[in-house]
Amino acid sequence: MKILIAKTEFFEIYVDQELNRLYLANEGMWQSADALRIYVIEVKDSLSYMGSGFSLLLDNSHLLPMSQEVQRKIIFPVTAMIQQAGIGKTAVVLPEEDVAEIMVELNVSRLQKNDKEINSFSTFDEAEFWLDHEITI
């Protein structure tokens, strides 16, 4: 059962302890790191519900291009926290906009360096299906 951890105009964070899954749904235009510092705090809190090898469904399908400041001060630290927490599989739902997709792919590549299973999808349902099943893509 999904439990809402945080919801703002820029993101929603849910956890499902039964599935050992973290859901991050990011949206809008992330331009100011100061406005998004709460994201780091909320992700850190949500990780306390996760066990080793947890899965992540990262929905960036409505995320617009973000500033380099946000990437440096928010995205990179959150990515490091998730890796240190013992992440297993990651499914990423990508936005349609090409520029945002490239930015997301760059951030995804940081996760891939951790030698964990990661795949990208065009819909939430496809991403969740892959996380729920042993499927090689």
Residue 14: predicted pLDDT: 98
pLDDT in tens, 32-59: 998 899 999 999 999 999 999 999 999 9
For residue 119 the two structure tokens come to 């795949």
Regions in the chain scoring below 50 on pLDDT: 99
The one-letter amino acid at 27: E
106 within some domain = yes
**Edge-to-edge order in the sheet of strand 21-28:** 3-7, 11-16, 21-28, 55-63, 90-93, 118-121
Domain ranges, residue 82: 3-132
Q: Domain count of the chain?
A: 1
137 occurs within a structural domain: no
Domain membership of residue 70 (yes or no) is yes
